Amino acid sequence: MDNGTSYIFAGLAGDTSPGIEWVEKHMGIKLVVKSGLYRSVFGQGDWEPLTKGLPDAPEVRAITIHPHRPEVVYVATQDGPYRSDDHGDHWEKVVIPDHGLPMWSLLFHPADPRVMFAGYESAEIYRSDDAGERWHQLPVSVRFPDVTMPPQGIPAKRVLMMSGSIADQDELYASLEVGGLLRSLDGGEHWENLSHGQYLTDDTVDMHGVLASRLTPGTVTAICRVGMFRSIDRGDHWQRVPIEPLNEKGTTYCRCLREVPGMPTKLWLSGGGDFESNVGGLFHSEDGGLSWERVDIGHEVNSTLFAMSIDQRHTDRMVCASKKGQVFASADAGATWSAHALPSDADQVYCVATG
């Protein structure tokens, strides 16, 4: 029975991929790795660290709550996925025959939550058809130069977000950071590169998210470090979606894209000026992603808004978080926001979830 209680989860992580030294040397970015998983009761604001059953110093890069059973929560860590059946009080490792790479994303298929997908570094994707009991690796064979991974060693091919079509259960998408966008039309047995038409500059297609519309089958929205793109033919062709720019290059670093459950015309986007930025922005669309307006949350944001989440049972409840540890919550569908800062040493927030 739904007692009206929702929880907020916040995960800390960082970047540990091969090529970090190149990024720090050539791009002047110091990539710090933090760790930890925190939980709060929605509307209360006090945070507690979650540790029981998790690996030491868990680097949590994704948090996913079951769409029908909110007590079931998954987190993606440097040691693969962990599952809780009691809102995060206790955790156990999910047995996946992976290669020991960090996990970055997990998807419950919107047409059937028993079908699940786990995304890793090196463009590895695993599938389960029995609610996470058994998993098998999908044959993702797309590699450079098919995806836009440069040869100099920038951290590569993390499956940062996946999305499935509600109209066709075999239609799947995966966004790669850094690398591009992939599509499968047969449930993951074959994949193809969609990294064309998403350029604004001569650069890699650094994709952060992808969303197959529940409103209009065939419509796909993808976000990246230089903005947003939209396709109406399952990714065969793309058009840029204008968004208020948040940096001097005239672009917006788009990081997290969400659709309001049960309301496919309503989309939310979080981002900022860049990966490391002191500017954060939240955007809202009322027309399925055709047009966007920036939302004033009533608080000064200290860095890129790296993550956001919408409660699937109580869709008026929303959460977004800045990379440097600010958490903002709304109980009225984004009309007003309250601040709930994490502990002072809890920065490098990579993901949030509420439910």
The domain ranges of the chain are 1-94+264-355, 104-241
Tell me the residue length of the chain: 355
Residues of the chain with pLDDT under 70: 1-2, 15-33, 143-156, 197-205
| Burial class for 261, CB neighbours closer than 10 Å (0-12, 13-18, 19+) | middle
Contacts of residue 49, Cβ cutoff 8 Å, sequence gap at least 6: 36, 37, 38
Contacts of residue 329, Cβ cutoff 8 Å, sequence gap at least 6: 8, 42, 43, 317, 318, 319, 337, 338, 340, 354
Q: How far apart are CA 4 and CA 335, in angstroms?
A: 20
Q: How far apart are CA 191 and CA 138, in angstroms?
A: 9
Q: How many CA atoms lie within 13 A of 27 on its CB side?
A: 16
Output b/e per residue, 236-250; b: 16+ Cβ within 10 A. Answer: eebeebebeebbeee
Domain spanning 104-241, CATH class? mainly beta
- 296, 219, 222, 295: which is closest to 257 by C-alpha? 222
What is this structure's pTM?
0.91
Instruction: Quote the pLDDT of residue 144.
Output: 52
Evaluate whether 47 touches 38 at the Cβ level (below 8 Å): yes
| Amino acid in position 142 | V
- 296, 284, 294: which is closest to 259 by C-alpha? 284
Evaluate whether 160 touches 209 at the Cβ level (below 8 Å): yes
Instruction: Extract the tokens encoding 40.
Output: 């709060």
Tell me, rounded to whole angstroms, the distance of Cα 163 from its chain centroid.
10
Our CA angle for 83, 312, 71, nearest 5°, is 30
| Burial class for 283, CB neighbours closer than 10 Å (0-12, 13-18, 19+) | buried
| Burial class for 141, CB neighbours closer than 10 Å (0-12, 13-18, 19+) | exposed
Rounded alpha-carbon distances, angstroms, from residue 299 to 132, 279, 282: 39, 12, 12
State yes or no: cis peptide before 145, omega within 30 of 0.
yes
Instruction: Quote the pLDDT of residue 24.
Output: 53
- 238, 194, 235, 203: which is closest to 218 by C-alpha? 235
Instruction: Quote the pLDDT of residue 1.
Output: 44
Q: Maximum distance among all alpha carbons in the chain?
A: 54
